[in-house]
Structure 1
Amino acid sequence: MSKIEQRVVENLLERNIGFPRPNVLCGPRYGVDCALVELDGGKAMALASDPLSYIPSIGIKESAFLSIHLTANDIATTGFSPQYGQFVLNLPVHVSDKELEDYWIHIGHFAEEVGLNITGGHTSFDSFSQSTLAGGVTMITIAERDKMLLASQAQEGDVLLMTKSAALISTSILAMTFPKYVERHVGKELWEKAISNFWSISVLPEAGVVQELNAQHKHIHAMHDVTEGGVLGAAYEFAEASRLGLFLWEDLITVDASVAEVARLFGLNPLQIVGAGSMLMACAPQAKDTVIEKFLGNGIPCAEIGYFSSWQQGKRIQRKNGLHTFTGPTKDLYWEVFAKYKQDEIS
């Protein structure tokens, strides 16, 4: 599994949108996490969709947590939490009534925690499916239009900030799925830390901090959630969505020690694999110290990793061996590695 190519998004999906409506402020667009629809009274409605997860190897509760927060993270890029959700379950037939009950009770619990009302959907079983993708969810939130952010709103000269660490979700799932293998090679302490990272994949806390910051002065102009392709892929998408260039310092990108060790064990680059749990933010340069201090004061690591430049300057990254250009994500190797180790029955 990897994201669809940029050219397909731009040449196919963005150009075939059915009946055009003038109040759609942002529809399908490369690098943008949410659609945005203008409503009456100065309001707007943000919508985001993602697959549901059902991964027996990590647990039913954990699968429900993923299912809620991966989509909620997209909504969080607006600076708000999700309010309503439509769920489509497409479960493998081997899922028992008890497993379905457990899964849905956890879904309800985590939805309540984030303020999400489940308004309906569809449920079915698929006799051919062996996938860990068990359907899909669309989440919606309504808020004041002028307070909502989009990933297309970064400005030239903005500082690029990131929260937490790269590759939190991918390395935590590897540690949970292959516990003996990971503990044996990285040690008990780093293995346990990698697993605990799983419960830090929500970026709704970041959205809450940004709401507070922007209430007085709009320090944060735009946000983008890190998913497939990792921090490098997300940074590229962010710049593309805003039609800007980008400069990154590779050695400033935060990589937790447990993340680094688990990624190394599986032969993966932590900067290029699924990274839910980290938020990228375009910050007014004069406000960066205030913003970083505010996040740290709320217990959320935050670091400066680059800046947005003119479109003509392209996407550049400073590595130890010099300055390089970089392009968007084409394949996230995490999925291949996960599938290979599962097939080999490594525990």
Structure 2
Amino acid sequence: LGAKSEEILVGPQHGVDVGIVEIGDKAVSFTCDPVFIVPEYGWERAAWFAIHIIASDAVTCGLKPRFLSIDLNLPMEMTKEQLEIVWDTMHQECERLGIAVICGHTARYENCHYPMVGGATIVGIGEKNEYVTPKLATTGDKIIITKGPAIEATGIFATMFPQLIEKEFGHDFSQRAQQIFYKMSVVEDAMTAVGIGIRENGVTAMHDATECGIWGGLYELAQAAGLGVKVEKERIVVEDCVEEICSYFDIDPYVSISEGTLIIA
């Protein structure tokens, strides 16, 4: 798409969340996502999750995220105090992840509404042999799935309906389920995985299980790799909170949205 460039190492394709270009002797990755803010989560939780949605896509290439450009197109009803909480949380989380904010745009506009309140791009930098992409996956690669299915669905249900969950399952269960919200990120998962080894020495491809959950993530990874995939469903670990909450709301955990679950080949 657009002008042709010999510097492109990984271009736009279905099932791949990161583009990578060659600049000098480095590989530079680019990831863009909406800025997704849900006030009902609570402002701090919503801002934490907004950063991790973007960062979780970025790390699936194996390069450490370094820089953030962010555009905030805010609803008119968002107050200064609410924005301060959101931005302070974003700043702190970027600082913790080692991501520097390098530019942006902030304004309120008529007809802008939650949850999509802008867009952002994360840039990562590494050596040219340090990134992974589904095209590097090969026949015989093993599949590892972190945390199990429906992490995001469970975390959101527990956060949005704490009284209902507590009434049905008890106080301790509700508290444990609400903590799953902060598992809705694959940054640590991905950085740990590539720290063990990449390509012929380890990880060849990674994808987060967001839309359509684990089954959707596996399909997208396999399609992008041009390979099939064999899944031993009985070996996928399901957290007890996930199983109980998905059963209560009558949803299939394996197709439920699951930011926080990383699929590794």
1:21 pairs with 2:16: no
Question: Within 1, Cα distance between the matches of 2:43 and 2:158?
Answer: 16
Alignment of 1:109-128 (within 5 A): 109-128=92-111
Supply the distance in 1 between the matched residues of 2:37 and 2:191 (Cα, whole angstroms): 28
Structure 1 residue 186 displacement after superposition: 2.8
Matched residue, 2:255: 272
What is the aligned counterpart of 2:156 among 173, 177, 182?
Answer: 173
Which position in structure 1 is the counterpart of 2:30?
47
Change (3 A) 1:216 1:38: closer
Tell me: CA distance 1:174–1:215, structure 2 relative to 1, closer, same or farther (3 Å).
closer
The alignment partner of 2:254 has SS state of coil
Counterparts of 1:151-300 in structure 2, within 5 Å, are: 151-214=134-197, 218-282=201-265
Q: For the residues of structure 2 that align with 1:83 and 1:250, how far apart are their CA atoms? A: 36
Moved more, 233-242 or 180-189: 180-189
For 1:44 and 1:126, locate their aligned partners in 2 and report how far apart those are by CA, in whole Å. Answer: 37
Residue equivalent to 2:39? 56
Identity over the aligned pairs, expressed in percent? Answer: 30
Which one of the candidate residues 50, 53, 73 is aligned to 1:67?
50
Q: In 2, distance between residues paired with 1:126 and 1:177? A: 27
Question: How far has the Cα of 1:216 moved from its partner?
Answer: 11
RMSD of aligned C-alpha atoms?
1.6
Task: Give me the TM-score of the superposition, normalised by structure 2.
Answer: 0.95
Tell me how far 1:26 sits from its aligned partner: 1.5
Q: For 1:21, give the aligned amino acid.
A: S
CA distance in 1, matches of 2:211, 2:56: 13
Q: Measured at CA, do residues 39 and 255 of structure 1 come closer, stay the same or move farther in structure 2, by a change above 3 Å?
A: same
SS in 2 for 1:77: helix
TM-score computed with the length of structure 1 as normaliser: 0.73
**Aligned positions, number:** 265
Contact 1:154–1:221 (8 Å) recurs in 2? yes
SS in 2 for 1:118: strand
2:82 maps to amino acid: E
**2:61 pairs with one of 66, 70, 78:** 78
CA positional deviation for 1:182: 2.0
Structure 1 residues 263 and 215 mapped into 2: Cα distance closer, same or farther (>3 Å)?
Answer: closer
Aligned residue type for 1:152: K
Query: Which amino acid letter does the alignment assign opposite residue 18 of structure 1?
Result: G
Measured after TM superposition, the shift of residue 215 of structure 1 is: 7.0
Q: Unaligned 5+ residue runs, structure 2?
A: none
User: Could you say which residue in structure 1 is the equivalent of 2:74?
Assistant: 91
| Other-structure match for 2:20 | 36
Matched ranges for 1:298-309 at <5 A: none
Secondary structure of the residue that 1:65 maps to in structure 2?
helix
Distance of 1:84 and 1:114 partners within structure 2: 10
Letter paired with 2:14: Y
Specify the SS of the correspondent of 1:238: helix
For residues 199 and 49 of structure 2, the distance between their equivalents in structure 1, rounded to whole angstroms, comes to 33
> Does the 8 A contact of 1:152 with 1:238 survive in 2?
no
Q: Which residue in 1 is equivalent to 2:86?
A: 103
- What SS does the corresponding residue of 1:182 show, helix, strand or coil? helix
What amino acid maps onto 1:144 in structure 2?
A: E
Task: Indicate the SS of the match to 2:68.
Answer: strand
Q: Is 1:133 paired with 2:113?
A: no
Going from structure 1 to structure 2, the CA distance change for 1:250 and 1:211 (only over 3 Å counts) comes to: closer
| Distance (Å, rounded) in 1 between the aligned partners of 2:232 and 2:84 | 47
Q: Structure 2: how far apart are the matches of 1:23 and 1:171? A: 41
Q: What amino acid maps onto 1:67 in structure 2?
A: A
2:136 touches 2:199 (CA, 8 Å); kept in 1? no
Question: Secondary structure of 1:245's partner?
Answer: coil
CA contact (8 A) 2:67 2:101 kept: yes
Work out the CA distance in 2 between the residues paired with 1:77 and 1:189.
34
